[in-house]
A and B are shown apart, each in its own frame.
Chain A
């Protein structure tokens, strides 16, 4: 099972002028095995949705609910959410100086599984994941995200996705800043994950480009903190042709 249900989610952030509402009632269900793309203009709240699901302390949930297989996600701490089966591939992965990738991956895997991975198979798994994402095995000795190129950061996120094997992956603008080769490598990684039994994917993106490589089952247009329209993948083609203008005008009107 892996069913993520977001119901009427309202989220605020603290600003100098007091709390500001960013998400204004998001409702979305990702059933087992489904890939949903969320598309929207800058500032529409897409990333806020991703971070709120993952539990970033900067965001305050004022109402609504998020459940994973019936479990109340919002009651869990950030790490508990990950152990429950949520994964967030970040748009801007954070540098952790002095902590090697291999130590980080092993510590994360140990935390998620509740026991240390078997050494022999683990080394093979890590090297395999890195290789499939076109990352050199020496990558393991580098500090997490420190000095990584934009492409390396994103490929490292997807390597983690493969190794940590969550139920539902939220990919926050994983495609941004990637050249076409890197985009293909990253997309292949996401597609390998989707092929596993019952995995859900919430793909957040500004551009339709990545949807040529990762074919969504559903597309949602996200404007001003809520889903403005939902449809199949043909909705992405329409956005490609027409842009977000008509949705933005509707909000301003």
Chain B
């Protein structure tokens, strides 16, 4: 078992109230920007991120630029609105969390408006709530605060769909009411020059289910922290991730499942593929099982498929256990190239090497795409994987009509 205490402890600092653990690695959570030094890159939570490419978002870049356009749909009974003034102020920290980084503190302090998705108690949204964020200029920096509130026993899917060029730091706070069933899918399908630094913080109510899917394909630098805490026993979190890094791209995903209540569950599966010179992916999975968290279950898994030379995949699972009274805890991490035996098997059935590689990559992602569980974006994800493959694996043969949908 890998236990990197420093990393879990630094991630831990963002939760207030509970038994705080002293750490020199990171300041305590605080809404005051002055409490957060500009990171140097030596900090545990920044050591993989190329700060120079963040366009100052980690430091003091202006957050009031106009570089995105957001459009959305609102199914019956669901409110989607940009709120300001006291209403927006009251929503800062609604996920029960205090900022643990300078950029998150700045977003909460400086960005005045909040994009609020409010699914009232007992409402079941008939269709996914899709918020399209289209970037218009990567040379302009901006900040965004988003709150997704799922009332008691409500059920809804929210898709955050990012495209175009922009440099954005974003805080997404998610409140999942008792017994609610919430899905949040965040797609980073940015243009090549985009920079996206984001923090998703969810508080999961008693017996509630939360599914979070982070899907990152495009952008020069994409970093997302997807964290959960539990507001009562019986809550369950499924944290999914799918990423595909091309030459020069930095895609970093961190999760932190902080088991703050008994009989809660977390299950994380992140899968990535890398291709091209200096494609770099980072996955850091932090799980903390606190003393109170008896009877919990956790499992985290990260798999990376390296398609070409010159790529780097960092994968670090951290599990810290403060009580032995649990149902189960485990993790797995694997980074590999194509399996020769798989390719041989497929080729021995007449399938060309490239077609075999394509099948293996699709297969690698297929289960995960199904688990995301939003039919309207399944086909899009398959198509995007196909387009990514076309850049390297399939570049010599173009598109083959032979590949059908997987039934």
Query: Which residues of A does B touch, CB under 8 Å?
Result: 54-58, 77-79, 81-83, 87-88, 90, 93-100, 102-104, 106-108, 110-112, 116, 141, 143-144, 160, 164
Determine the distance from Cα of A194 to Cα of B162 in the docked complex, in whole angstroms. Answer: 57
Please state if B350 and A94 are interface contacts (CB–CB under 8 Å).
no
Determine the distance from Cα of A116 to Cα of B400 in the docked complex, in whole angstroms. Answer: 11
Residue of A nearest to B358 (CB): A107
Please state if B348 and A54 are interface contacts (CB–CB under 8 Å).
yes
From B98-106, B235-243, B290-298, B362-370, give the one contacting chain A.
B362-370
> Can you name 8 A-B pairs with beta carbons within 8 Å?
A87-B348, A88-B348, A97-B363, A97-B367, A99-B359, A99-B362, A104-B349, A144-B345
Partner of A111 from B355, B362, B363, B365 at Cβ < 8 Å = B355
Please state if B407 and A82 are interface contacts (CB–CB under 8 Å).
no
Task: Tell whether A98 pairs with B355 under 8 Å between CB atoms, given A56-B344, A82-B347, A103-B406.
Answer: no
Please state if B366 and A108 are interface contacts (CB–CB under 8 Å).
no
Q: How large is the interface on B (under 10, 10 to 19, 20 to 34, 35 or more residues)?
A: 20 to 34
Give me 13 other A-B pairs in contact (C-beta within 8 A), A96-B345, A103-B359, A108-B349 excluded. Answer: A79-B350, A87-B348, A88-B348, A96-B360, A97-B364, A98-B363, A98-B365, A100-B407, A104-B346, A106-B404, A112-B350, A143-B363, A160-B349
Please state if B344 and A111 are interface contacts (CB–CB under 8 Å).
no
Determine the distance from Cα of A54 to Cα of B342 in the docked complex, in whole angstroms. Answer: 14
Nearest-neighbour CB distance to chain B for A193, whole angstroms, equals 16
B1 at the interface (CB under 8 A from A): no
Please state if A141 and B407 are interface contacts (CB–CB under 8 Å).
yes
Partner of A93 from B345, B367, B404 at Cβ < 8 Å = B345
Nearest-neighbour CB distance to chain B for A157, whole angstroms, equals 10
Residues of A within 8 Å of B348, CB to CB, are 54-55, 78-79, 81-82, 87-88, 90
Please state if A103 and B350 are interface contacts (CB–CB under 8 Å).
no
Partner of B360 from A99, A103, A160 at Cβ < 8 Å = A99
Nearest-neighbour CB distance to chain A for B10, whole angstroms, equals 34
Residues of B within 8 Å of A99, CB to CB, are 359-360, 362-363, 366, 406
Determine the distance from Cα of A78 to Cα of B351 in the docked complex, in whole angstroms. Answer: 9
